[in-house]
Structure 1
Amino acid sequence: MSLNFTIDWGSVVISVPLLALTIWGGTKYLSKKYVDQKFLEKLENHKHDLQNVVESNKFNIQKKMYDFSLYTTRKHEVYAQLYQLFMISHGSLANLWGTRQIPDFKKYSLSQIRQYLSDYDASEEELEYYTRNWTGELSNKIPFANELEKFHNKYGVGKARADTIKSNNEFLLSSLYLSTLVYQKCENLNKKMKDLREDFEFVYGDEMDTETKISIRRTLTKKLNDVSDELSDLRIEMKNELAIGSSHS
């Protein structure tokens, strides 16, 4: 028995191109699927990275907002505290000039003298000096009253010195929170207060001659007014900055 195979060459010719086309189409499809898959993976990774960046920026922004809030709160506190100390210094200086309230020591009793000296932190030596010979006789009181007035002036100058040093120290310690303009105004105010205080130290001291004291006295009113003007300007600038939440550098 013999087997006979008959090949239809026409069909073979048609099938080969069809097969090639099928293979090419399948390859193209698989390639596209592969590319699409890789694209989706990269897109997902990118979305993940982008989300991390967003979260990181969000945290940084929140932290900066929190830090700025703390800074602003502290700035308000510093401005209020610093201005208050400048006001106290100004008051201490103003009390040394112009219309002053000096006790009439000639009308004081011995117990009143003791109380006054105690209130003004007199030392034991000063207390002993001013009270040991105090009597009810006016002739006795007058020289001691004059001495007590010098003590009163000395105490006032000492208070002004302590207050201006305190306000200056607060200014230096608080400079981180001050705008450039406020810093400059505080610096000018400090210089004028120091200059005025030193004039009072000379005027109420014992080292300077009378003629020089008279010369200095002529300038005191103007200098005190200059300090008042500087303090007023500082108050206006501080209020403006705090009102708008300024972050001037």
Structure 2
Amino acid sequence: MGVWEEIFKLIGSTATVIAILTFLGRQGIQGYINLVTQKSLSNYKYELDKIAREKEHDLQRKIHDFGLYSTKRHEKYSEAFRLLHIAYSSALKVVEIKNLNEYLEMHGNNWRSLLNYLHIHDMDKESINKIIYARENFQFKKTMTDNLVLVKYKEPASVHFNNAESYIFQNELYFSSEVEGLAQESSIAIKALFTSKNSCNDSSDNGDDAYNKLEELKEKMKQEMSVGYYENTPSN
């Protein structure tokens, strides 16, 4: 009986040791797993934070770029419309040239009436003297008057038109497709005002079409320049 008791005690002790070792082993493995898991989670969190920081930086950059682009667009729109309006006003002066033949018929077909016509159109002294001292008949002086008055108003109209058209072309990158289209339509209508008049006696457009085009362009520009308009913005 003593032998068996010793055997049973030994087995019990061994089982206890095995149980303890098993428990410790499990704890060690679990601890290792927890350590690995925590490290993985830490790495994952670091990567997420890194991605978030990169995304935030990219978003801030895009917001900054968009702000610069919007500010630049506002400047370009304002200047383009200003130049087009100057061109329109200059072209209207060509339209408003009084019909020379009708004026002379109404006030007398003579030199005095012709001189008054020149003064009405603010012709410079050099041009007036050129007509006065021309050794030609009255009909020729009428032709000279026609040409000089027309050139006086068409030349600045052409210069102002070219300034506006050139500015729009150089800055079309900032224009939405709709604004660019309306600006081109306005330009065509303005150009027609002064190019269609080849004589002071020609009837010409009253300017309504160009005016309406400019008003449409202005409203579209105002819409795109208002807060909350984000169409046709640059993307990276």
Normalised by the shorter chain, which TM-score bucket? 0.7 to 0.9
Q: Counterparts in 2 of 1:85-100, with a 5 A limit?
A: 85-98=83-96
Aligned to 1:166: 163
1:241 and 1:46 mapped to 2: Cα distance?
43
User: Within the alignment, does 1:241 sit opposite 2:188 as a pair?
Assistant: no
Aligned to 2:75: 77
* CA offsets 1:10-53 (integer angstroms, 9 cap, x no match): 20121222221111111100001101111111111122212211
User: Within the alignment, does 1:177 sit opposite 2:174 as a pair?
Assistant: yes
1:191 and 1:107 mapped to 2: Cα distance?
34
- Which stretch of structure 1 is more off in the superposition, 41-50 or 81-90? 41-50
2:15 and 2:89 mapped to 1: Cα distance?
108
CA contact (8 A) 1:86 1:164 kept: yes
Q: Counterparts in 2 of 1:12-31, with a 5 A limit?
A: 12-31=10-29
1:97 and 1:197 mapped to 2: Cα distance?
7
1:203 and 1:105 mapped to 2: Cα distance?
16
CA RMSD of aligned residues (A): 3.4
Give the unaligned 5+ runs of structure 2: 101-112
- Give the alignment's TM-score, normalised by structure 2: 0.76
SS at structure 1 position matched to 2:80 = helix
Displacement of 1:190 after TM fit?
1.8
1:15 and 1:245 mapped to 2: Cα distance?
81
From 115, 122, 126, the counterpart of 1:106:
115
SS at structure 2 position matched to 1:248 = coil
* Structure 2 letter corresponding to 1:45: N
Q: Counterparts in 2 of 1:1-249, with a 5 A limit?
A: 8-98=6-96, 106=115, 116=124, 130=130, 133=133, 147-148=144-145, 150-200=147-197, 202-203=198-199, 214=202, 217=203, 220-221=205-206, 224-249=207-232
Displacement of 1:149 after TM fit?
5.3
CA contact (8 A) 1:189 1:227 kept: yes
Displacement of 1:132 after TM fit?
8.8
1:12 and 1:233 mapped to 2: Cα distance?
104
SS at structure 2 position matched to 1:246 = coil
- Give the alignment's TM-score, normalised by structure 1: 0.73
Give the unaligned 5+ runs of structure 1: 119-125, 135-139, 205-212
* CA offsets 1:191-241 (integer angstroms, 9 cap, x no match): 2223333212x335xxxxxxxx75xx2x522xx211111011111111122
* Structure 1 letter corresponding to 2:115: K
Larger RCO, structures 1/2 (Cα 8 Å, 6+ apart) = 2
Displacement of 1:83 after TM fit?
0.2
* CA offsets 1:80-113 (integer angstroms, 9 cap, x no match): 000001101101111112376x9x88369xxxx9
